Amino acid sequence: MSDKLSNAQIAWRAAQDIEDGAYVNLGIGFPEMVAKFQPPGRAAIFHTENGILNFGEAPPSGQEDWDLINAGKKAVTLKPGAAFFHHADSFAMVRGGHLDVAILGAYQVAENGDLANWSTGPKGVPAVGGAMDLVHGAKRVAVITEHVTKDGKPKLLDHCTLPVTGLACVTRVYTSLAVIDIEAGHFVLREKLASLSLDALQALTGAKLHLRGGVADLIVPEV
């Protein structure tokens, strides 16, 4: 598919739905990009599982302090009022329901909101990690992902076939083709690329897309 959003554009679109002052955890890898695209006039407070609250952008190359890293082992800076705390206290914040939003990547998302975002395959990791806490501790869980796998198979399915991170936890999915909500066990299409027909999008989706009201065009800037 040549006509699709880049990872940066998907991250930009997800960032537009983060409220001012929200406490946010971004998953390792691609989701970390969301922090670059906070809308003007809004300031999220970013949390990382290894024990920092209110960290900022990556420092310029060569100016990293490698005692200041996020959960993905990437160098970060600190904003005024930033705090450090023990790893266990960080997870107490997660499990205590103190995060407003978690934005994670995905291998698969089921129409009932089940999420699979870890694997023990050849390139997998040895365990599910902190994601299983985040998906049930954060007040809202969103996913950013390509709409299909590298070999063209749907990532949005009627049920997950990979190990599940959390059950019925995802409420919105931002893909390279669409924005889709999960409501009452169904995928509800909210936005799609104007160049893509509904039938074409459905053919790339492994479960039925429901329409409730109008479907807006998915419009993002060049970023």
| pLDDT, one tens digit for every residue, the chain (223 residues) | 458 999 999 999 999 999 999 999 999 889 999 999 999 999 999 999 999 999 988 899 999 999 999 988 899 999 999 999 999 999 999 999 999 999 999 999 999 999 999 877 676 666 677 889 999 999 999 999 999 999 999 999 999 999 899 999 999 999 999 999 999 999 999 999 999 999 999 999 999 999 998 899 999 999 8
Whether residue 19 lies in the annotated active site: no
**Quick check: 169 and 108 in contact, CB under 8 A?**
no
Q: Is the dihedral of CA 29, 222, 170, 141 positive or negative?
A: positive
Indicate which residue of 19, 32, 49, 146 is catalytic.
Answer: 49
**All domains of the chain in start order, with CATH:** 7-217 (3.40.1080.10)
Look at residue 2 in the predicted model and tell me its pLDDT. Answer: 57
Look at residue 126 in the predicted model and tell me its pLDDT. Answer: 62
Type of residue found at 157: L
3-state helix, strand, coil in the chain (%, to 5): 15, 30, 55
Per residue in 34-85, pLDDT tens?
999 999 999 999 999 999 999 988 899 999 999 999 988 899 999 999 999 9
